[in-house]
Amino acid sequence: MGMFYIDTRSGDFATHEQLRENELLDRDGRSLPPWHRVQATSDASTLWYSLMRKHTRGIWLGALVMRSADHRTKLLNEGWEEFPPERVGASLGAAPEELAPTPFDTEGWERLNQRSGNGENGGG
């Protein structure tokens, strides 16, 4: 999915590509207010990372944390909430980004890899 941004007024998230498609980047590729880049790796996936947000002092703060990390639990205990990945870009009218299947979703991986799923066990 890549880089994520938070709308500091609404608490909604979007990807860099969604902001680009909606002309919400300046000519140097930086987000325009009220969008603010979430500090994190530039190749993040919601399979491994949680989008977290918290409303404080009149604005929304955003964070990206590993799902399995203790830091996620700490943020939840401090009043942060997890933002549903399927809603990323929804406030821009964007179609939901295709989410990566879970590691145990064989059918999802087959669909992702554009396999037909016909003929189980290699049969035709």
Spatial contact of 50 and 41, defined as CB atoms under 8 Å apart: no
Q: Distance (Å, rounded) from C-alpha 115 to C-alpha 105?
A: 14
What pLDDT is stored for residue 96 in this prediction?
A: 63
Tens of pLDDT, residues 22-72 = 999 999 999 999 999 999 878 888 878 999 999 999 999 999 999 888 999
Tens of pLDDT, residues 64-109 = 999 888 999 999 999 999 999 889 999 998 766 666 666 666 776 6
Measured over the CA atoms of residue 120, residue 121, residue 123 and residue 124, the dihedral's sign is: positive
* Residue bearing tokens 């087959």: 110
pTM, two decimal places: 0.76
Q: What 8-state DSSP symbol labels residue 62?
A: E
What pLDDT is stored for residue 116 in this prediction?
A: 43
In order of 49, 118, 122, the CA distances from 115 in angstroms are: 27, 8, 12
